[in-house]
Structure 1
């Protein structure tokens, strides 16, 4: 079982032989028959987690398809004003959806996006593509971002995903102001920080 995986097991007296599992936010829900012993439950939970991970891995887009998608979006919505040198998934962005380095034309997207609707991933790509042209979040920046027709819908989706954990634990759902530049110099914040506005 992957570490740091929250698992909720739901026993059902109506369920006789089948076991199923699905992701619900940051946890995995496993549905098992109420008649299962603890040992059977443990074995099936581990098996279902492995199956889910394998299925998600097959569905997870690779860096090449992400790069191709970014080039298509740049042509379609930004009239080819920018061409990213590299676009890749990263695992080290836990508080950001995406980031870029305009100096070398690289874009990085948090792998947390890989399970989200394609139109949300496209929005983050467009946002980062625009940052390759305009490093700040001024009006000109947003005018270009809003060429993508689902920009507002995607921003709302990401804001909801970001707010959900704070709402569940009773923390403030207030949104912080966004920073434009990382502390490490060159990288431009996407403004798509999980705790910030998109």
Structure 2
């Protein structure tokens, strides 16, 4: 996948030509466009009659806004885990590994194997705001110290001030995913 610091109009057109941005046209879509990420590519969903070339300036602006909030690389995930460990656990809780995976089921956002210290994060979270991903990582880091979801575990995981907000966000995100599949 192309990871850009700053997109130009030519970059967007080249990425489309190479298949790094897949344009999916839909007769059901009348006015709006959307961009999502799937492993290895961006997906640009558009109405059937949408002209990429005619709208290249606004598309370029859209991709630049996405790049500014992107946290989807493996290196970003490792760095974010290190930052969350420092911020909320004085650097004590560090995974042996942390990586994006595609095999988490619809209700699972991440998982931790406490015996090995490995954390796996659903690739679906590449599309959420950073603060939501932070809360998931803090939750998984807490599992490195306390396995089960006990009161002591939640006291540890709730060190991130937006845990409750993220829970609501993820409930809505999951409902939206299920609705779009339906």
Deviation at 1:29, TM superposition (A): 3.6
> More helix per residue: 1 or 2?
2
Structure 1 residue 92 corresponds to structure 2 residue 108: no
CA–CA separation in structure 2 for the residues paired with 1:167 and 1:66: 28
- Residue 30 of structure 1 corresponds to which residue in structure 2? 46
Q: Which residue number in structure 2 is paired with residue 74 of structure 1?
A: 85
Q: Which residue of 2 aligns with 1:141?
A: 153
Output the aligned Cα RMSD. 3.5
**1:2-50 per-position Cα deviation (integer Å, ceiling 9, x unaligned):** 9xx98534356xxxxxxx731489996413548xxxxxx8xx6xxx9xx
Check conservation: 2:37, 2:126, Cα contact below 8 A: no
**Residue matched to 1:192:** none
Task: Spell out the pairing of 1:31-70 with structure 2 (5 A cutoff).
Answer: 31=47, 33=49, 59=70, 61-70=72-81
Residue in 2 aligned with 1:194?
A: none
Query: Within 1, Cα distance between the matches of 2:89 and 2:97?
Result: 17
Cα contact 1:74–1:82 (8 A) shared by 2: yes
Gaps of 5+ in 1: 13-19, 35-40, 171-198
**Larger-Rg structure:** 1
Equivalent residue for 1:83?
94
Q: Retained in 2: the 8 A contact 1:8–1:28?
A: no
If the length of structure 1 is used for normalisation, what is the TM-score? Answer: 0.60
**Is this contact kept in 2: 1:98–1:107, CA < 8 A?**
yes
Report the Cα distance in structure 1 between the residues aligned to 2:115 and 2:169, rounded to whole angstroms: 30
Alpha-carbon spacing, 1:6–1:137, altered in 2? closer, same or farther (3 Å): farther
Quote the residue 2:173 is aligned against.
Answer: 161
**1:122 is aligned to 2:134:** yes
